[in-house]
Amino acid sequence: MTELTVAALFLRDDMTGVNEMKPLNFNKAEFITSYGKLSQIPESDRPEFAFSGRSNVGKSSLINKIFNRKNMARVSSVPGKTVTINFFSVEDVYFVDLPGYGYANVSKGEKKGWGDLIGGYLADFDRDLELVFQLIDMRHAPSKDDIQMINYLIDNEIPFVIVLTKADKLKPTARKERMEAFKDEIPYFEDIHCIPFSAVTGEGVDELKAIIEEIREDWYTRTEDAEEEDISEEAPDYEDDSEPPAGFLTPNRNR
């Protein structure tokens, strides 16, 4: 895969109409439900943003910070024990919390449960999954599971950004060293959009929300354009000087 293709994974260049929609009110976030089986998950009807990362990387803390809630996403005291896909909604957008992976002290069956749910969700290309936030602890080198996930996203051309969690734990010198190290540890790191994040200081929250807003706007613009094209293709092609049959309702192009 070329560098250009990788760079295009996280944000497309053809986004239009940004900031025309009313901004999301992230304080109106609601927990929808948890799904333990892929067959339980309903079909997509709106843009989805997924959060992926190893156990204890800070996914729940990130979700709670974005939604400005303390307990919207529960922070588990037992890593690796939650094997469900959790859906949240903010108005016309879904947020999907994927199971944390990589915890060593679980059975092979539980690890298989992670793989089946995470892989099955990401492999469903009929879903309106617009972006994956791939979380990595900024203090440490990515795990083998992290690299496997990043390679999977790249190979399947699933748009993603990397969120470097727990950024407040590092002093400026250590942060600079880790950013340099990531260049050797993460494939195509310099071509992937990365966001340092802290649930303590709030660093990165505004940037995450801005990306969500931009992609949401683009999704609804593309969906509306596609619907108008479908209407145009279905409508009979009449001569300019002719009239449509009685009872034929011409589509309103000025919506």
Domains in the chain: how many in total?
Answer: 1
Kindly state whether residue 197 falls inside one of the protein's structural domains: yes
Question: pLDDT truncated to tens, each residue of the chain (255 aa)?
Answer: 444 344 445 554 444 444 468 999 999 999 999 999 999 999 999 999 999 999 899 999 999 999 999 888 765 555 555 578 999 999 999 999 999 988 766 777 777 777 889 999 999 999 999 999 999 999 999 999 999 999 999 999 999 999 999 999 999 999 999 999 999 999 999 999 999 999 999 999 999 999 999 999 999 999 887 766 666 566 555 455 544 334 333 333 333
Name 231's bridge partners: none
Residue 141 per-residue DSSP state? P
Kindly state whether residue 58 falls inside one of the protein's structural domains: yes
User: What pLDDT score does 248 carry?
Assistant: 31
Report phi then psi at 205, rounded to 5. Answer: -65, -50
Kindly state whether residue 254 falls inside one of the protein's structural domains: no
Kindly state whether residue 240 falls inside one of the protein's structural domains: no
User: What pLDDT score does 107 carry?
Assistant: 73
CA–CA gap between residue 188 and residue 177 (Å, rounded): 18
> Phi/psi class of residue 187: alpha, beta or left (left: φ > 0; alpha: ψ in -120 to 50)?
beta
Query: Cβ distance 213 to 27 under 8 Å?
Result: no
Kindly state whether residue 13 falls inside one of the protein's structural domains: yes
**Amino acid symbol at 255:** R
CATH code, 12: 3.40.50.300
User: What pLDDT score does 108 carry?
Assistant: 75
**Rg of the chain (C-alpha set):** 21
Nearest partner of 76 among 67, 88, 84, judged by Cα: 84
Kindly state whether residue 97 falls inside one of the protein's structural domains: yes
